[in-house]
Amino acid sequence: MHIRQRRGRPAAVVLAAATALVLGTGQPAGATDGAAPARTQAQPEQQSVTLITGDRVLARAGQPTGHLVAGPGREDVTFSTFAADGHTYVVPSDAAPLIGTGVLDRRLFDVTTLLESGHADTDRDSLPLLVTYADGPAAASTMSSAGTRITRQLPSIDGAAVRADKDSATELWDSITGGPESVTTFAGGVRKVWLDGMRSTTLDRSVPQIGVPAAWEAGYTGAGTTIAVLDTGVDQTHPDLAERETAERNFTESEDNIDHVGHGTHVASIAAGTGAKSGGKYTGVAPAAGILDGKVLNDSGSGRESWIIAGMEWAAEQGADIANLSLGGGDSAGVDPLEQAVNTLSAEHGTLFVIAAGNSGPRASTVGSPGTADAALTVGAVDREDDIAPFSSRGPRLGDGGIKPDITGPGVGIVAALHSDGSIGEPVEEGYTALSGTSMATPHVAGAAALLAQQHPDLSGARLKRLLMASATPTEGAGVFAQGAGRVDSAAALTQTVTAEPASINLGVQRWPHDDDTPVGKELTFANSGAEEVTLRLAVEATGPDGTPAPDGVFTLSATEVTVPAGGTAGITVTGDTRAAGVDGIYSGSLVATAGDATVRTPLAINREVESYDLTLNAVDRAGDRTGQYSAFLFGFGDNRLRFPYEEDGSVTLRVPKGEYLLQGTVRSGEPGTTADLLAYPKLSVDGDLTVDLDARQTKPVDIAAPHESARPMLTEVSYTRAARGSTFNSGFVALGEGLERLGTAHLGPQLPPAELTALVSSQWVTEPGGEYYGLAWYEYGRLPTGLTRDVRQEDLATVRTGYGPIPAGVTGIAGATPSPRLQAGGAWGALIEIPESGPRVAHFTTEGVDWNRTLFLEDDESRRLHSRFEAPPRSYQAGRDYTESFNRAVFGPVMPESRYQHSWVTRDGNRIIAQVPLFGDAAGNAGYSATDDSSLRLYRDGEEVEAERGLFEVEPGAAGFRLTAEATRSNVDLSTRVAASWTFDSTTTDRPTRLPVSTIRFFPRLDEANSAPAGRTFVFPVAVQEQGSPVTKVPHKLSAEVSYDGGQTWRPAGVLGNSQLVVQHPAGADTVSLRAKATDGNGNTVEHTIINAYKLH
């Protein structure tokens, strides 16, 4: 960076923006019940979230745009940003090596996940963590200071659940990293740090289907066994579950142990319900089993990982034979804390953890954690015909290609107990409801395990798992990564005497090329618990990656027949030989051992690696030395996978499939925070072993000077968007403040077509004194600039003077701006600056090929929650011209300004209507959001309300008449204290996202600086309608209006002149004016607005 003059930081401007910027909405962003009306403001466009480092991000979930604020004392830290597959990451430079070495959970920097799972700053003032120990006493001491508190010890993972106050997050970060320099391991006795994330329920003619009546006839009902149901709680008042509980405990933050969701009640009833209310019709699998009721999911159906771990520990300590977990979340390669707890508790207590696979099918490698734990009996779902349910998650397991799920159970249209609230699923008859999901399949297997545990009370959970898998019935044509061993069969399991160890065989990966592959074998041991020897005939049924039968020789057995003595064991060797295969990929199937009517099935697989190569990355600093002071990531356009390669010595080798990748590295030289070099391969083709040097000496400097000598940088960004193979990846580098002395950039690899790469260099400055803002941005297409020199002249810029409406006492206004390419959707990162107490803010912007997106945040000083937020539509400027703009001036009401996003405001896409209605836009036409006391958004199709989820309405196909209503009340201001709007329109199924014929009514009274007009006189002002997404207003076809001077208690007609002006008579003594108007367009579509206390009188 080129800086003409260095001075002290402008305290009144930049530091004010870097201290307390917490954006709130007044409402939680948690999940809502699908039958409830969506809240208009429940998930606003932008929210603030504090990272574990203390840095703050204000962003739209899933969008690579927003504002960054460095934590206290962290002004010299830089950031890498990237967005793919709907997730946006912001990674500080001192966190990247810890992510790369696997000791820091990257979800802590996944802004999308943090916002969507309720970790926004408006939702909670602490960050929930899971911390594992390298040195228990030292870690406990560290976690008991620096603004943190241990909320629960978790011995199964040798760690604890911790709450870190966001206000002191930077202090915690410094205490576990040992200071500002990049490190690769934690200090203070800490081994790993994870987000204590949220997991949820796995919802998306069952008992006879799995052979349970035969088990009952044999006298097995689960008597004497205990099933722990770790879920949303169990409704003990339901007749099917009365007196079934042996103990209960609430591990959540909910006030009680009652099941307010209904999921846990349904699950418990499938596993162990008596069927009393239905006269036995809906009896569970093990109706005599006892139930341990562990509430680990809250009243929204979600639970923290620490709650679930604590529930598992409690269940094991209580002596549960089986623990049912119909819950889960995303998996990652390696062992996470939940998986670790399952494995540890299974080994120490002998508990069998039966866990849902998840409902993310039919895509491969979607089985969720903790079902991915080795010790778990992981359950997929089948329908009543034993076909694999489309939603049921599939393997292989991420990372090692392990075989998951292990088994399947009925999970489609399952009828079981309905909790007393009666608000889940599809009610079937009084007290019962139907649900689908692997959540329902799991308790079928748990109940079957209880029947086995009654028959064999001495068996460990691991042996129960082997029995259930060995006796399962396969679904013909379904691979092992969809079903494991097959559908659970209780009748067969109770007569099964032979099992196999291990229960499944993963023969690993044979590296490409395959001309030197060597066979790999594993021992398989059969155990016979019966009184007579058993002779097993052995065969392999397997398919290749293309679904055809595997060639002979891919799987071979050391024997085709084996005799297992009574009470003894016998072993064979299973060998995989990929030299016999033709197509690269995973070969899988089952080893089938038969003896008369008895069958033992053992899933098996081997991976003949697809064409893959070693990719070696070397980080080299400006002195030419290899360095560990770097961060890098690799994104594969073929597998849509994001990797964080790192080794402390500066050289790391990855194994990757042949294909196209995006590689970015940032290398730091000298003192931390003073230099950074960004090197990017937007297109890296890997078609052989490859070594790439991320060599800082290849870069050229970014050298920018603002026109004003006292201007100093607040933010510098270099970013780019890459499009390929239907995927879009956004990545970049951001430095805050003026600590960065040199920034270099280099584009490596080929130049791309302009449509495939959009690159941005942005620099935002502020002057002292005066606090004038400079927004400087340049776009290039097809390449990332290798260095950039700009000596900006004042005549190259547009000047914008922005006035602001009155800011309430105790509220601070903070403004930001981000660039975007001309006439394109997109965004970037911006700095924030406090607006002046009086007078306009003067800003200067570059103009060539760039639009500017401006935002005003109003924040409560004491609570640090959002008061209001205004977002201007993208605006283009001309160099040398002066502009005047405004924010936060009345009348505040519905505004849907110009937008470049397909699903902005109210659109229809096929048979889905998406609605977001900003109810508090200002007079200038900026979209406005506010903290609210209450709000609602409802849609009616031909008079019947449509169920909604976060403004998404699934509607019946075909043409119909619709009515959309939106309403909100607020008490944090004295204007627009209640805004209500409704629209009527006709719509039919569309073949693309289509904006619906929805407009807003805009009122333009001429008000003073206090948003007030004279009382005691006639007042005439313009009125117009504005179609959503349009930059212009127009005269409505038909207009009627009313006015109120007592807060909407009584109304009187307002005069209408030419459908374009309202005439009102302001009475003396009135304080405010409320407005109500209805407009109709030429096609009969209507809009009606009511704004209580629209403006003041004086």
Residue 716, φ and ψ in degrees, nearest 5: -130, 130
- Residue entry with tokens 């009652």: 258
Type of residue at 544 = G
Strand 934-941 and strand 944-945: pairing? antiparallel
> What is the three-class DSSP state of 366?
coil
Strand 327-328 and strand 322-325: pairing? unpaired
Q: How far is CA 1006 from CA 247, 652, 1023, 1058, 1060, in A?
A: 68, 65, 11, 19, 15
Which residue out of 200, 278, 436, 439 is catalytically annotated? 439
Which residue out of 263, 708, 867, 1066 is catalytically annotated? 263
Structure tokens of 47? Answer: 């929210």
Q: Is 420 a catalytic residue?
A: no
Strand 630-636 and strand 727-736: pairing? unpaired
- Residue entry with tokens 């980080």: 619
Intra-chain end-to-end CA distance of the chain, in Å: 52
Which residues, at least 6 apart from 18, have a Cβ–Cβ distance to it below 8 Å?
Answer: 69, 70, 72, 75, 736
Structure tokens of 678? Answer: 């960004």
Which residues, at least 6 apart from 11, have a Cβ–Cβ distance to it below 8 Å?
Answer: none
Task: Assess contact for 1080 and 1038: CB atoms under 8 A.
Answer: yes
H-type alpha helices, 240-291? 263-272
Task: Assess contact for 79 and 664: CB atoms under 8 A.
Answer: no
Q: What span, in angstroms and rounded, lies between the C-alpha atoms of 738 and 765? A: 10
Alpha carbon 731 to its chain's center: 18
Q: Which of 291, 38, 306 is nearest to 945 (CA)?
A: 38
Q: What span, in angstroms and rounded, lies between the C-alpha atoms of 138 and 135? A: 6
Alpha carbon 977 to its chain's center: 33
Q: What is the CA radius of gyration of the chain?
A: 32
Q: What span, in angstroms and rounded, lies between the C-alpha atoms of 852 and 344? A: 54
Task: Assess contact for 580 and 552: CB atoms under 8 A.
Answer: yes
Q: Is 263 a catalytic residue?
A: yes
Element (H, E) at 295: strand 290-295
Q: What span, in angstroms and rounded, lies between the C-alpha atoms of 734 and 466? A: 53
Structure tokens of 815? Answer: 């403004």
Q: Is 231 a catalytic residue?
A: yes
- Angle at which helices 337-349 and 305-317 cross, to 10°: 0
CA max distance for the chain: 106
Q: What span, in angstroms and rounded, lies between the C-alpha atoms of 443 and 246? A: 18
Which residue out of 231, 235, 240, 293 is catalytically annotated? 231
Buried b (16+ CB within 10 A) or exposed e, 668-682: bbeebbebbbbbbbb
**DSSP labels for 445-502?**
HHHHHHHHHHH-TT--HHHHHHHHHHTPBPPTT--HHHHTT-B--HHHHHH--EEEES
Which residues, at least 6 apart from 398, have a Cβ–Cβ distance to it below 8 Å?
Answer: 331, 332, 333, 365, 372
Q: What span, in angstroms and rounded, lies between the C-alpha atoms of 110 and 124? A: 17
Q: What span, in angstroms and rounded, lies between the C-alpha atoms of 416 and 265? A: 8
Structure tokens of 246? Answer: 């042996």
Alpha carbon 969 to its chain's center: 29
- Angle at which helices 438-455 and 263-272 cross, to 10°: 30
Task: Assess contact for 842 and 877: CB atoms under 8 A.
Answer: no
Catalytic residues: 231, 263, 439
